[in-house]
Amino acid sequence: MSAAATARPAARERPRVSWRRPLSLTLRYAVLIAILVFAIFPFVWTLAIALTDKTAGVSIYAFPASLLPRRITLHNFVDVYRTFHLGAYLWNSVSITVMTVIGTLVVSALAAYPLARFRFPGRNVIFSAIVATLVLPSETNFIVNTLTLKNLHLLGTHLGVVIPTVAGAFGIFLMRQAFLSIPSALLEAARLDGASELTILTRIMLPLTRPSLAALGIFTLVTTWNAYFWPMVVLSGAPERVPLSVAVLKLKGQFNYDPFNIAAGSLFMMLPVLIVFLLAQRLFLRGLEGAVK
Amino acid sequence: MRIPWRQTLMSYTFLAPALILLAVFTFYPLVYGAYLGFTEYTGARFAQGLGPKFTGLDNFRTLAGDPLFHTAIWNSVRYLLVVPVLQLASLAVAVLVNKELPGMTWFRAAYYVPVVTSVSLAAVMFEWVFNREGVLNWVLTSLHLTTPQKAIGWLNSETWAFFAVMLVTFWRGFGYYMVLYLAGLQTIPQELEEAAVLDGANPWQRFWRVTVPLMRPTILLCTLLSTIAALRVLEEVLVLTNGGPLNSTYTALMYVYAKAFQGFDFNYGLASAAGLVVAAVALIISAVNFRLFRTDDVAEGA
């Protein structure tokens, strides 16, 4: 991380041959914009479709006209919200996501604290086991986990989607790294004052590691909100409880296929993540960079 | 040093939720899933409330004789084609946005947006792109590479659906690897680049002679990650083509999923056995990768 921070400003003083500069710069931006179109075109188009007034009898496939709708309306959003009970699916997404984020933060922080700060018999074994989950073949886990959830009577419930996902190596790792960076003197002082370990964790460690908690929370939020396969498997017997990510594809499969409504429904799903991402993009990109170092 | 028992007790209390959850939902399924691969555990047995019946290698013999499984494995191996393309493109894009020019932060963020897109959203959007009347055909027609009469419904074509799904994998992946490569690029000493410029190296030469060799650890790490991801591809296939048309996009994990959950003649035993085969292939490929390119390099980069 620190190496990245110092290396970046230095890039400005690179020597360049002066007459070639404008040409290469134009070329560079042309390529960048071409890639930009590739990356975000589907979103732009979806937005355009969602905002199109379909009563005018337009086709989404009339290029390039469908990219710039002549009559803009918000009616599709209202329409899809009402006819497809989108509110219920939105609520399902919120319920699953909130439970997963809170669960992940609590479980990861609790587990990371002793791993970072204490010596106890079995610590290395436990830590290795957690590391191992990153590389172990998980191809068949979803089959057995479905059976387990069935036995626990959690199949078809939001809790069933959430519980198997909250304990993960990524979260425990991230929090452990954060806790390791807190000076021991702080902890010693608190202990001398008679604070319990739980107090130290909640009053000292967690407030001081807020950026890491936020990063983990946002990562978990986006992943959970977008998750498709696992909620689809767990909730296959309870279609009314599926989150938006699963419901959107069901809308698509309905016989009264209406692309305008589906585009609007997709935006309902995309917007929260897009907003979170734009607000926290530094955290995202830095967090990933940190993963390589 | 003696460790106070209270400290041990406290540690295990804090670790308990994570350990219990990992044991039940990660380690137990690994072991039990592997066992299921050697049993008969069909829909019929399940309906009668019977448990799995040990049958030795029967499932693997079934897999060996199942043309659909051969197709699935072949498609998964073929899917690895996406790896070199994806890695080279991500590296090139990373080099492109690694310069401090106006707006560069925005380009980086925008390229990352597909990564935070759900696969179901990608399915909705790309169905319109790949439609016979979709954007892809419009672009190709505009470039006079095809005509509206010869337009292809990409996801319905036995030849092209496979590559269409790959394009979505590429689209969702390049921003992710770009960020990893960016991190690697930041570690290249400035002096080396400058020396290359002074020696008269053009950008192309600098990329191949300076950047690529110095980025070796990151390239290996990303290639490994993306190889495993390509072998395990399931969601894109599931939402875009469901394995079709005519099984042309049916991949190995699609087989595992379908045998476990689709239809009434599901067979957890056979699905688990197929999962074991995929896992074994993934492990072998990782091992080969690590052997081929010295492990210490990767460890250094990671």
Within A11-151, residue ranges assigned H as helices are: 21-51, 75-83, 86-117, 123-132, 141-151
Name the minimum distance, in Å, from the CA of B217 to any CA of chain A.
Answer: 10
At B70, the pLDDT band (50, 70, 90 cuts) reads very high
Q: Is the pLDDT of residue A222 over 90?
A: yes
Which domains are present in chain A?
19-73 (no CATH), 88-292 (1.10.3720.10)
Q: Using one digit for the tens of pLDDT, what is the confidence trace for B103-158?
A: 888 999 999 999 999 999 999 899 889 988 888 888 888 888 888 788 888 998 89
State how far the Cα of A261 lies from the Cα of A263, in Å rounded to an integer: 5
Average pLDDT over residues B156-167: 93
Q: Is the pLDDT of residue A2 over 50?
A: no
Question: A225 in contact with B at a CB cutoff of 8 Å?
Answer: yes
- On the CB side of A291, CA atoms within 13 Å amount to 21
Which of B16-30, B105-119, B235-249 has the largest mean confidence? Answer: B16-30
- A60 CB neighbours in chain B (<8 A) are 128
Average pLDDT over residues A168-186: 93
Name the minimum distance, in Å, from the CA of A113 to any CA of chain B.
Answer: 8
Residue B36's closest chain A neighbor by CA? A144
At B84, the pLDDT band (50, 70, 90 cuts) reads very high
> Are A63 and B99 inside 8 Å of each other by CB?
no
> Are B175 and A39 inside 8 Å of each other by CB?
yes
- A274 CB neighbours in chain B (<8 A) are 113, 116
Residue B45 Cα to chain centre, angstroms:
34
% helix, strand, coil for chain B, step of 5: 75, 0, 25
**Nearest CB neighbour to A107, from listed B21, B114, B197:** B21
**Sign of the CA dihedral B210, A289, B21, B36?**
negative
Nearest alpha carbon to residue A284 among B108, B289, B21, B269: B108
CB A66, CB B139: distance < 8 Å: no
Residue A249's closest chain B neighbor by CA? B120
- B301 CB neighbours in chain A (<8 A) are 292
> Are A106 and B17 inside 8 Å of each other by CB?
yes
Q: Using one digit for the tens of pLDDT, what is the confidence trace for A136-169?
A: 888 889 999 999 999 999 999 999 999 999 999 9
Q: Max alpha carbon distance in chain B (Å)?
A: 81
Name the minimum distance, in Å, from the CA of A132 to any CA of chain B.
Answer: 10
pLDDT score recorded for residue B66 = 95
Q: Using one digit for the tens of pLDDT, what is the confidence trace for A252-281?
A: 766 457 888 888 888 889 999 999 988 887
pLDDT score recorded for residue B287 = 83
Residue A32 Cα to chain centre, angstroms:
25
CB A168, CB A220: distance < 8 Å: no
Nearest alpha carbon to residue B97 among B211, B200, B181: B181
Question: A46 in contact with B at a CB cutoff of 8 Å?
Answer: yes
- On the CB side of A84, CA atoms within 13 Å amount to 33
At A7, the pLDDT band (50, 70, 90 cuts) reads very low
Q: Using one digit for the tens of pLDDT, what is the confidence trace for A65-78?
A: 777 777 888 888 88
Q: Using one digit for the tens of pLDDT, what is the confidence trace for B174-218?
A: 999 999 999 889 888 888 878 888 888 887 888 888 888 888 888
Extract the tokens encoding B118.
Answer: 């759900």
pLDDT score recorded for residue A10 = 46
Name the minimum distance, in Å, from the CA of B125 to any CA of chain A.
Answer: 6
pLDDT score recorded for residue A18 = 59
What number of H helices and E strands is found in chain B?
18, 2
pLDDT score recorded for residue A199 = 92
Bridge partners for A72 per DSSP: A52
Nearest alpha carbon to residue A228 among B83, B154, B172, B268: B172
CB B269, CB B52: distance < 8 Å: yes
Task: List the end-to-end C-alpha distance of chain B, in Å, as a whole number.
Answer: 33
Predicted-complex ipTM score: 0.90
State how far the Cα of A248 lies from the Cα of A266, in Å rounded to an integer: 7
**Nearest CB neighbour to A139, from listed B21, B193, B275:** B275
What is the identity of the amino acid at A245?
Answer: S
Q: What are the distances in angstroms from CA A233 to CA A142, B48, B238, B239?
A: 8, 22, 12, 13
> Are A28 and B34 inside 8 Å of each other by CB?
no
Nearest alpha carbon to residue B119 among B253, B260, B234, B278: B234
CB A230, CB A143: distance < 8 Å: no
Question: A125 in contact with B at a CB cutoff of 8 Å?
Answer: no
Q: Which CATH class is domain B5-9+28-293?
A: mainly alpha
Q: Give the residue from B2, B13, B25, B191 with the most A CB atoms within 10 Å of its CB, the best one to mutate.
A: B25
Name the minimum distance, in Å, from the CA of A111 to any CA of chain B.
Answer: 4
Q: Is the pLDDT of residue A172 over 80?
A: yes
Extract the tokens encoding B281.
Answer: 């292939």
pLDDT score recorded for residue A289 = 55
Please state at what angle helix B104-112 crosses helix A281-292, rounded to 10 degrees.
Answer: 80
pLDDT score recorded for residue B294 = 58
State how far the Cα of A54 lies from the Cα of A80, in Å rounded to an integer: 13
Q: Using one digit for the tens of pLDDT, what is the confidence trace for B253-298?
A: 999 999 998 877 789 999 999 999 999 988 888 888 777 765 454 4
**Nearest CB neighbour to B8, from listed A111, A121, A236:** A121
State how far the Cα of B197 lies from the Cα of B200, in Å rounded to an integer: 5
Contacts of A44 (CB under 8 A, 6+ apart): A67
Q: Is the pLDDT of residue B248 over 60?
A: yes
**B53-54 and B39-40 beta bridge pairing:** antiparallel
Chains A and B: how many Cβ contacts under 8 Å? 277
CB A80, CB A73: distance < 8 Å: no
pLDDT score recorded for residue A145 = 96
State how far the Cα of B213 lies from the Cα of B231, in Å rounded to an integer: 26
Q: Is the pLDDT of residue A292 over 80?
A: no
- A167 CB neighbours in chain B (<8 A) are 17-18, 21-22, 25-26
Q: How is A210-268 classified by DSSP, letter by letter?
A: HHHHHHHHHHHHHHHHH--HHHHHHTTT-GGG--HHHHHHHHHHSSS--HHHHHHHHHH
pLDDT score recorded for residue A8 = 47
pLDDT score recorded for residue B16 = 97
Q: Give the residue from A76, A97, A140 with the most B CB atoms within 10 Å of its CB, the best one to mutate.
A: A140
Q: Using one digit for the tens of pLDDT, what is the confidence trace for B88-98?
A: 999 999 999 98
Mean pLDDT of chain A: 86
- A133 CB neighbours in chain B (<8 A) are 22, 26
State how far the Cα of A209 lies from the Cα of A182, in Å rounded to an integer: 8
Q: Is the pLDDT of residue B24 over 70?
A: yes
Q: What are the distances in angstroms from CA A9 to CA B92, B99, B210?
A: 21, 10, 20
Extract the tokens encoding B201.
Answer: 């190296």
Of A65-69, B8-12, B220-224, which gets the smallest average pLDDT?
Answer: A65-69
Q: Is the pLDDT of residue A288 over 90?
A: no
pLDDT score recorded for residue A30 = 94
State how far the Cα of B38 lies from the Cα of B54, in Å rounded to an integer: 6
> Are B239 and A249 inside 8 Å of each other by CB?
yes
> Are B135 and A252 inside 8 Å of each other by CB?
no
CB A130, CB B22: distance < 8 Å: yes
pLDDT score recorded for residue A15 = 54
CB B161, CB B248: distance < 8 Å: yes
> Are A163 and B25 inside 8 Å of each other by CB?
yes
